[in-house]
Structure 1
């Protein structure tokens, strides 16, 4: 019968196609499902929205959410605190995108605050560090989530010790402050930078500084 004669021929055709072609066929079938189509659309949208940041050497290398990306962002957080303590505007400038925004003195829930828009306004905010003589910022904990090839978010805590010089009415004072940073990052030319940062002081206490007795 025709159906009986066709079966061996069909088996021979499948054998000729081989495993690689069969796998490709399954991939094509999977790509036609609604869930996969939605995922592809979301990925394309992400690529378009971050295209201006993803260009350049090394951009987008490695899988999204790789340990390498997370480590790079943790280093970014540490470098930020170092630049603040050393009052180094040159380093500070390299940590932000040109269109970055920095919100300072936001409420603990991240609302309100004073917004600095654009790289020049963000860098100028470091002038406020002149109010204290010395400072030490220490990262307490940080939760970093890489959301795409060129995008990530972060929520971190730090402790700041700020030494304010003596005045005519007050001795040298140490201000100890708990801080929370809510961030958005982008990968630009293979380097992670801060595109948005919201700085919220959470708690604070003050004390009188004690002079260090150096041996010579």
Structure 2
């Protein structure tokens, strides 16, 4: 058990340490203030500015919101889903009525076959019947939003399974793709107004049958 003397000293010691700590903190803050140039933001101000900027500015430095960018990325994913499922109903909802789709363009985006208007764009999906199954996967995408319009430049890989013929076995075509896009936001929904599709590289292989257990 501590002696009465040590018990009496404890409150005084705590007061002394508290005063010393407060003095050190004040001195440290004074030194920081002296070292900070006039007009410079404090760490707290920098943090507040960063938080404000992150919610109002696109992650790619443009004027669109993060929500707009996410909506466009979902649009890109939905496009690939509609192609893989050959779903014309979903495919139609992704384009504006005056959309253009250029297919088989050169790697630099030039030339190619242009489909103009929503009906021609949707009809192009008929080409997907050439293969039995497919899997399209987005590799990367750069989206720049400015108000109600945006541009996109994305890459994808496609695995296309072509059925066997009288002269060839079932074949898997693996292809690298680049999409150059223009988007527009109407009634709160982002749609593709222009898309240029460029195949970049490709290789073919013989398909291997899957052995299902039942």
Q: TM-score, normalization: structure 2?
A: 0.71
What's the offset of the Cα at 1:188?
Answer: 1.0
Determine if the alignment matches structure 1 residue 197 to structure 2 residue 195. Answer: yes
Alignment match, 1:162: 160
What's the counterpart of residue 110 of structure 2? Answer: 111
Measured after TM superposition, the shift of residue 177 of structure 1 is 0.1
Cα RMSD (Å) of the superposition? 1.0
Secondary structure of the corresponding residue to residue 179 of structure 1:
strand
- Counterpart of 1:122 in structure 2 is 121
- Aligned match of 1:133: 132
Which residues in structure 2 correspond to 1:1-216 (within 5 Å)?
A: 64-147=63-146, 149-216=147-214
Paired residue secondary structure (2:205): strand
What secondary structure sits across from 2:142 in the alignment? strand
Distance in 2 between the 1:130 and 1:78 partners?
A: 20
Cα distance in structure 2, aligned partners of 1:82 and 1:210: 24
State the Cα deviation string for residues 7-28 of structure 1 (Å, max 9, x = none). xxxxxxxxxxxxxxxxxxxxxx
| Alignment partners' CA distance in 1, 2:186 and 2:64 | 16
How many residues are aligned here? 154
| Partner residue, 1:23 | none
Alpha-carbon separation, structure 2, partners of 1:98 and 1:176: 31
Larger Rg: 2
Runs of 4+ in 1 over 6 A off after TM superposition: none
Q: Distance in 2 between matches of 1:206 and 1:189?
A: 43
State the SS of the aligned residue for 1:180: strand
* Unpaired runs of at least 5, structure 1: 1-61
What is the SS of the residue equivalent to 2:169?
Answer: coil
TM value normalised by structure 1: 0.70
Whole-Å separation in 2 of the counterparts to 1:124 and 1:172? 26
Partner SS state of residue 168, structure 1: coil
* Structure 2: gaps of 5 or more residues: 1-55, 58-62
User: In 2, distance between residues paired with 1:106 and 1:188?
Assistant: 28
Q: Secondary structure at the match of 1:211?
A: coil
Distance, in Å, in 1 between the alignment partners of 2:154 and 2:144 is: 11
